[in-house]
Amino acid sequence: MKRILITGAAGFLGSHLCDRFIKEGYHVIGMDNLITGDLKNIEHLFALENFEFCHHDVSKFIHVPGELDYILHFASPASPIDYLKIPIQTLKVGSLGTHNCLGLAMAKGARILVASTSEVYGDPEVHPQTEEYWGHVNPVGPRGVYDEAKRFQEAMTMAYHTYHGLETRIIRIFNTYGPRMRLNDGRVLPAFIGQALRGEDLTVFGDGSQTRSFCYVDDLVEGIYRLLLSDYAQPVNIGNPDEITIGDFAEEIIKLTGTTQKVIYQDLPKDDPTQRQPNITKAREILGWEPKVNRAEGLKITYDYFKNLPEDELYKKEH
């Protein structure tokens, strides 16, 4: 049985990855310090023999007994309000945490895939974003703590590949959504759905003309699975190229939820990217991957998930 370590296992993406690799017959070791994650996301796995959970901060030395075939490094705060609240931990998990994971991969002879992000492109001047574009990031702006940690992560991962011959994979993930996002993590989709469910107005930041391209979580997980098993070490964009303005997205959520609330406008956060759409030619050609779930289908599944959460989740204060 292949053994895989998944860091950030109790988070949104990490928990879906645990499910997928369990389904594929792997022995999964989930690691998390629960800083933005929740054990509820993986408690259904606790009774399984081929799942273990390890409560650990990956920015500190990582010890995993036994062999490892693969490592997926997904630990990191991911929503802007999270990484603004815990900026130093964000920098540490992207840098020291990545270094620890790479060292562990070397020691175990494991292949490692690291979770990078479309944020390495910053506020992009090339549209849609191709992997060849170097980006437009403000290192000392508020988002720098996340963007530069991820850029360092990529550089460190590539250095281990080039200088140590380690088998590495880098995925650049574009905005992904689905069940198990935290209702109050500040990201736009849970923010809008939470507001609709609480009977509040939907807060659009800026004039709503900025764009994002939303990928359903099952599609992303398929892309990660294929990239891990591929032999391609350069970064690959995974995301859904169906781009929408945030203003139009708010209208979609109003229709979906049937709320009678309206849109209100608030200040645009500093350095908020004005446009974002992945060019997925590489993913198509190298992995034979493309998204299958359109936004209407994905949003319906996600709305059903949020609607069925216990009511106190709606009003829960954040960490």
Tell me the longest C-alpha to C-alpha distance in the chain.
58
The distance of closest approach from Cβ of residue 275 to ligand NAD in the complex, given in angstroms and rounded to an integer, is 16
Q: Which does 205 bind (CB under 5 to 8 A by kind): ligand NAD, ligand UDP, none?
A: ligand UDP
> What would the two tokens of residue 111 be?
């292949």
Are the C-beta atoms of residues 145 and 160 closer than 8 Å to each other? no
> What would the two tokens of residue 178 be?
């689905």
Identify the CA nearest to 189 among candidates 300, 309, 308, 40: 300
Contact between 238 and ligand NAD (CB under 6 A)?
no
Sole window of 82-90, 199-207, 287-295, 301-309 interacting with ligand UDP (rule: CB under 6 A): 199-207
The distance of closest approach from Cβ of residue 281 to ligand UDP in the complex, given in angstroms and rounded to an integer, is 22
Contacts of 119 (CB under 8 A, 6+ apart): 137, 143, 146, 147, 150, 273
Measured CA to CA in angstroms, residue 176 lies from 33, 67, 285 at distances of 22, 31, 21
> What would the two tokens of residue 42 be?
């993986």
Identify the CA nearest to 76 among candidates 60, 99, 92, 52: 92
**Interacting residue with ligand UDP among 27, 111, 151, 187 (CB under 6 A):** 187
Ranges within 223-252 binding ligand UDP (CB under 6 A):
246
Q: Which of 83, 146, 177, 225 is catalytic?
A: 146
Name the DSSP class of 58.
Answer: T
Positive or negative torsion for Cα 39, 11, 244, 195: positive
> What would the two tokens of residue 270 be?
């500093």
Measure CA 160 to chain center.
23
Contact between 269 and ligand UDP (CB under 6 A)?
yes
Sole window of 53-61, 121-129, 197-205, 266-274 interacting with ligand NAD (rule: CB under 6 A): 53-61
Q: What is the H or E stretch that residue 227 is in?
A: helix 217-229
**Interacting residue with ligand UDP among 27, 111, 212, 295 (CB under 6 A):** 212
**Interacting residue with ligand NAD among 30, 97, 190, 235 (CB under 6 A):** 97
Q: Which does 157 bind (CB under 5 to 8 A by kind): ligand UDP, ligand NAD, none?
A: none
The distance of closest approach from Cβ of residue 192 to ligand UDP in the complex, given in angstroms and rounded to an integer, is 7
Contact between 176 and ligand NAD (CB under 6 A)?
yes
Task: Indicate if 133 belongs to the active site.
Answer: no
Q: Which does 257 bind (CB under 5 to 8 A by kind): ligand UDP, ligand NAD, none?
A: none
Contact between 117 and ligand NAD (CB under 6 A)?
yes
What count of residues does the chain have? 319
Residues annotated catalytic, as ranges: 146
- Applying CB under 6 A, the residues found at the interface with ligand NAD are 7-8, 10-14, 32-37, 57-59, 74-78, 93, 97, 115, 117, 173, 175-176
